[in-house]
Amino acid sequence: MSSGDDWQSQASSKPAFTEIQASALVESVFGFKVSKIQSLPSYDDQNFHVHISRTKDTTDDPVEYVLKISNTESSQTPDLIEMQNNIITFLRAAGFPTASVCRTKGDNTISLMSIDSGSEVKSYLVRMLTYLPGKPIAEVAISHQQLYEIGRLAAQLDKTLEEFRHPKLNLLRRENFIWNLKNIPLLEKYLGALSQNRNREIVEQVIQLFREEVMTKLSHFRECINHGDLNDHNILVDCNKSASGDAVYQVSGILDFGDMSYGYYVFEVAITIMYMMIESTDPIQVGGHILAGFESVIPLTAVERSALFLLVCSRFSQSLVMAAHSCQLYPENKEYLMITAKTGWKHLQQLFDMGQKAVEEIWFETAKSYESRISM
């Protein structure tokens, strides 16, 4: 996703490569012969699922990859994208199911391609990652235990990233990055995408409450690097059968590190709760299971817990407002952009109707129930 500094310029920044052009990129930049290529849904970049033909020299290499072509805005920050590649490699070495980064013919992890469109020359950063197997969590019915495991995974990611070192780590301090939860007030610029109705009133209220109740507490939150987008399409699972014959899903892939930035532990929990609510048949219960898993690794402080409800509402607001805005820019991508909106507004309204105290009671009591199970 993109910076939000000047979102209007995004209308012309999304790549529009054909499958033939993308195939030629794979061959010229990475030296692979493509046997099959197909477009994948994406937000403001362009992704392709690539099958390569094996040769004598590549018999041990993977056969499937994802070609990622960054939008023109992101392509202006190659150091940031290269660092994302380094983080993916670091996490894989630490045992997380992330992709492997494919090196170019020049032995780099990214390549900047300039394309003459006739009226202007545009530059796009190109990279390729191994294709990870599995289904997005959005497509499966997950249990309370699996929600707990996802919460635990989110905390383990943040904790492991404490050990990540890089000379340009400060690039992750993306001050005006629209998808950092710290920047909820920036949403005011995009409220014009919403009709004058209750949805807009709730978002306006969230922004005001955020200023009053979260921004005043930020100095008390513990800082870390956030993945920032552990949504139900960025976590892949594989199905195994348990001894009883039931389906058991295990995480087989973690995708999309494009929204990484410095944030706080409590941001990661809130973002994960919000996205796991989207497809749930019992969305209000989700928070307690995610929180229990997260706190089994990193217990939240009292002040962090007190902000959790509003942070979940804030992430709903971010996602829903920016989806509405992006639909104005990319109407042809409306189906993908509005995935969250299908149930998101209903969930945000429900949170507000129930109120912080009632929702927190459910979340905190559910999380507490795990303590007794663990002590047993």
Residue 29 in this model has a pLDDT that exceeds 90 = yes
Query: Amino acid identity, residue 289?
Result: H
Query: Amino acid identity, residue 151?
Result: G
- Residue 282 CA to residue 278 CA, distance in Å, equals 10
Residue 4 in this model has a pLDDT that exceeds 50 = no
- Identify the structural domains of the chain with CATH numbers, from first to last: 13-130 (3.30.200.20), 135-375 (3.90.1200.10)
pLDDT digits (tens, 9 = 90+) for 113-136: 988 777 788 899 999 999 998 999
Contact 274, 309 (CB under 8 A): no
- In the chain the beta strands, taken as DSSP E runs, fall at 34-40, 46-52, 64-69, 101-102, 111-116, 121-130, 135-136, 223-226, 235-241, 247-254, 261-264
Closest CA to 356 of 324, 317, 315, 308: 308
Q: What is the pLDDT of residue 6?
A: 42
Q: How many CA atoms lie within 13 A of 150 on its CB side?
A: 36
pLDDT digits (tens, 9 = 90+) for 269-315: 999 999 999 989 899 999 999 999 999 999 999 999 999 999 999 99
Q: Is position 229 annotated as part of the catalytic site?
A: yes
Q: What is the pLDDT of residue 239?
A: 82
Q: What is the pLDDT of residue 60?
A: 65
pLDDT digits (tens, 9 = 90+) for 38-54: 999 887 899 999 999 87
Closest CA to 275 of 231, 229, 321, 226: 231
Find the helix or strand (DSSP H, E) in which 105 lies. Answer: none
Q: What is the pLDDT of residue 30?
A: 96
Residue 109 in this model has a pLDDT that exceeds 60 = yes
Q: What is the pLDDT of residue 193?
A: 92
Residue 9 in this model has a pLDDT that exceeds 50 = no
pLDDT digits (tens, 9 = 90+) for 221-238: 999 999 999 999 999 999
Residue 372 in this model has a pLDDT that exceeds 80 = no
Over the Cα atoms of the chain, what is R_g?
21
CB atoms within 10 A of CB 112: 14
Contact 83, 168 (CB under 8 A): yes
Q: How many CA atoms lie within 13 A of 196 on its CB side?
A: 0
Which is more confident, 2 or 197? 197
- Residue 253 CA to residue 96 CA, distance in Å, equals 8
Contact 292, 370 (CB under 8 A): yes
pLDDT digits (tens, 9 = 90+) for 165-183: 999 999 999 989 999 999 9
Q: What is the pLDDT of residue 259?
A: 94
**Per the residue annotation, which of 45, 158, 229, 256 is the catalytic one?**
229
Closest CA to 67 of 87, 88, 37: 37
